[in-house]
Amino acid sequence: MKIISTEFNGLKIIKTSIYKDNRGFFKEVTKNKITKNYNFVFDCMSFSKKNVLRGMHFQKYKAQAKLITVAKGKIFDVAIDLRKNSKTYGKYFSITICGDSDFSILIPKGFAHGFYCMSDDCVLHYKCSNYRHEKSECTLAWDDPDINIKWPCSKPILSKKDMNGLSLAYIKKNKLT
């Protein structure tokens, strides 16, 4: 395993060991030496169909670090830095990940996260450093012009919650991070 830093402090690509043969593959997702400082306490999975966009989600009071691994399919993954004192505040990181990719994404606390399903369907596995806390959940608008994410689709399938995401300006003004 290898840790690759990005321009976003704390956001890392975890390059994993993957072993392929005629039967398929076996992938090591993480090791304690990489994640020991994150205290992951909650695992969850999501299933999405083609053209579904989930995001941009964050928890305002009980922030979560996340380790994102694609188990099946192909996604366009996005993390937006919402840490007030960060030099990359309001900027986004994006990457395409497939089920057979040899890496996962480690997103620190203080980021909004979302993804777009590019394949017929996709399955994601999340390791989270905090439990889901409904009263703390917020959604940043996936199409906020101040962030200007270059999504691979202009008319994704969205949940009602994701259709009503807040602007970055509103989040700043109301100190939601």
First to last CA, the chain: 32
Work out whether the CA dihedral 83, 152, 6, 29 comes out positive or negative. Answer: positive
Q: Is 133 an active-site residue?
A: no
3-state secondary structure of 171: helix
Cα–Cα distance for residue pair 139/160, rounded to 1 Å: 11
What are the percentages of helix, strand and coil residues in the chain, rounded to 5? 10, 45, 45
Q: Which residues of the chain form beta strands (DSSP E)?
A: 2-5, 12-15, 18-21, 24-27, 42-49, 53-59, 66-72, 74-81, 92-98, 103-107, 111-117, 121-128, 137-139
Q: What are phi and psi of 140, to 5 degrees?
A: -90, 140
Which residue out of 57, 92, 113, 116 is catalytically annotated?
A: 57
Cα–Cα distance for residue pair 23/174, rounded to 1 Å: 53
Which residue out of 38, 92, 113, 126 is catalytically annotated?
A: 126
Q: Is 89 an active-site residue?
A: no
Instruction: Report the catalytic residues.
Output: 57, 126
